[in-house]
Amino acid sequence: MLGCVAAARRTILLTSINEDAARVAGIRTNLVTLLLYFALAIAMVLGVHMLGIILVSALLIIPAATAMLLAQSLRSYIALANILSVVAVLGGLVISYFYDLPSGATIVLVATALFGLATLLRR
């Protein structure tokens, strides 16, 4: 899935930013939008099945919101959101291991702490 997104990044970017300009450029925006929704649905279903709804929802929303506070461009936004997700998961797993806490809740707390830190740094 990541390879498909990487291959079509310009099409996805143009459709996401300005759907009218994408239509003028000859992009079938309805198809691109449908495929993005389909990819999100697959990720949600697989994630919920493996991890649970709270963790999947938190990992979709919190790192993206944190990256939005810190990023200067779309490229840095995507990279930062991925890095923050990995940091939240690894940090949460390490903390939950050493303090014998539930891993899902600890991951969400680490992601939330990163968001709070980013909010403070932004000011």
The residue ranges of every structural domain in the chain are 1-50, 51-123
Residue 56: band (very low, low, confident or very high) from pLDDT cuts 50, 70, 90: confident
Does the pLDDT of residue 27 top 70, yes or no? Answer: yes
Which of 80, 87, 81, 78 has the alpha carbon at shortest distance from 106? 87
The pLDDT assigned to 120 comes to: 95
pLDDT at 1 over 70: no
Displacement of CA 25 from its chain's centroid (Å): 27
